[in-house]
Amino acid sequence: MPGIAVGSLLDLDVGPVAHGGFCVARSGGRVVFVRHALPGERIRARVTDASHERYWRADAVAVLTPSPDRVVAPCPHTGPGLCGGCDWQHAGLAAQRRGKAEVVADALRRFGGLDARVSPAHAGSGLGTAAEAGPGAEPALEVLVEAVPVGGPERLTGSDRPGGADDGLAWRTRMRFAVTAGGEVGLRASRSHEVVATPDCRIAHPLVLAALAGRRFPGADAVEVAASPATGQVAVAVHPAGAGTVVNDEHAGTGEDPGEVGAPGEVVEVVGGRRFRLGPEVFWQVHPAAPGVLVDAVREALRPRAGETALDLYAGTGLFAAFLAEDVGAAGRVIALESDAASVAAAANNLADLPWVSLRALRVTPATVRGVVGTGGPAGRVDLAVLDPPRTGAGPAVVAALLAHRPRAVAYVACDPVALGRDLAAAAAAGYDLVVLRAFDLFPMTAHVECVALLEPRGADRNPNLV
């Protein structure tokens, strides 16, 4: 098929949502990944990238036939050529969640070899269509993306809930902003180095916006902000262009313990009554309710017992290790592996009151996982494990090494459904089945979705409360 020039206009019929915040359309047999469109729409699109032989990229610049799921975007900075921080501001929240459910189900089918479909609870709220189980087949795994308002989780009912608690805005507590030539904070346009000024970013938490209000950062390359709604603290780190980091430490407001502050640049987060001291450079979930939601989901799936041995791989700042340790008690043990030096230092502080946690500054590799426990008897036993890998996933070799310990249950926390699908296929090859999958909308307006998968040995007795 002949090439096409960037900037060319195409009239397209839009197909299903795709992983990454696009919809799929076709032009003369060529796949076109389109932003700012919705399934079922007829649009006019401007080609933004024609460098690939098998596909083009484009932005919808005019909607000729709109979807009933289309809404007026709440942010003035979204749209073709503007801020690339959000993907679905033009879709209602119910439609966003159905689209994410379809992306997860598709990844589990294509990469995990699983019979997965979108839950009927998403019916009528849709980006995309669900695959049905074939005649006589086992019931398909149903994917339901649960709403998580800023104040906490709520099971999706199939339609947007009125009120500000679940409007998809004002949730992001940690942000790294680029800086415009004029010193304003901003975010980059999609697939571009251009910085779009966004001092009023609609998904930023109010504490983040308040810390930056009226401020400019001339000569800075980036500005990082970490806010804790639990304590009201905010830390701002300014990264001068070509230089080191200057930390402007701000402990604003009052939280559960207004007298408690971290070291310069730190904020204190509170989850389940435990305090976690964190610098802005370490990983922490960016949705205020996410840490508690994920901890609850992992504990509910694993149901740790006193005296058990648990592994926490990619342990970060010790979030899961802390609550696993509380559950297994001093008669049990938790072995936590993390390689990032700043995260290890934070975890050491956060887990200091739990001496039966063995924190190890190690990369998660097949070798470190194989040698994580001693040999023989209880010393060499692994009962439970949590996997919370980066976006690339754990990988088949790490999955195989972990499952060679034959834990009775594994909770896999995934931020990328394709990587999850691949790792679930590796688990199936090692004799472990996916028993339960929960998905959470922890990143409204964006294409991202978080999953918690429970794996158990094939043929194991199932807990009827989890299936």
Residues facing 249 on adjacent strands = 235
The Cα angle at residue 161 between residues 158 and 167, in degrees rounded to 5: 115
Residue 275 one-letter amino acid: R
Beta strands in 52-144 (DSSP E): 55-65, 116-118, 141-143
Instruction: Please report where in the chains the tokens 């779009």 appear, as a residue.
Output: 196
Contact (Cβ atoms closer than 8 angstroms) between residue 451 and residue 420: yes
Task: State yes or no: is 201 an active-site residue.
Answer: no
Residue 337: enclosing H or E segment and its boundaries?
A: strand 333-338
**SS3 of the chain: helix, strand, coil, percent, to 5:** 20, 30, 50
Residue 209 one-letter amino acid: L
- For 160, half-sphere exposure in the C-beta direction (CA atoms, 13 angstrom radius) is 17
CA separation for the pair 39, 25 (Å, rounded): 9
Contact (Cβ atoms closer than 8 angstroms) between residue 87 and residue 48: no
Evaluate the CA torsion angle 141, 26, 391, 397 in order and state its sign.
Answer: positive
Contact (Cβ atoms closer than 8 angstroms) between residue 12 and residue 45: yes
Which residues have C-beta within 8 Å of that of residue 273, sequence separation ≥ 6? Answer: none
Three-state SS at 81: coil
DSSP 8-state code for residue 70: B
CA separation for the pair 80, 301 (Å, rounded): 42
CA separation for the pair 56, 268 (Å, rounded): 45
Residue 405 one-letter amino acid: H
Residue 164 one-letter amino acid: G
Which residues have C-beta within 8 Å of that of residue 452, sequence separation ≥ 6? Answer: 294, 297, 298, 301, 411, 412, 413, 414, 437, 438, 439, 440
Three-state SS at 334: strand
User: Among the options 23, 83, 415, 451, which is catalytic?
Assistant: 415
Q: Give backbone dihedrals phi and psi of 377, rounded to 5 degrees, phi first.
A: 65, -160
Beta strands in 30-173 (DSSP E): 30-35, 42-49, 55-65, 116-118, 141-143, 145-147
Catalytic residues: 415
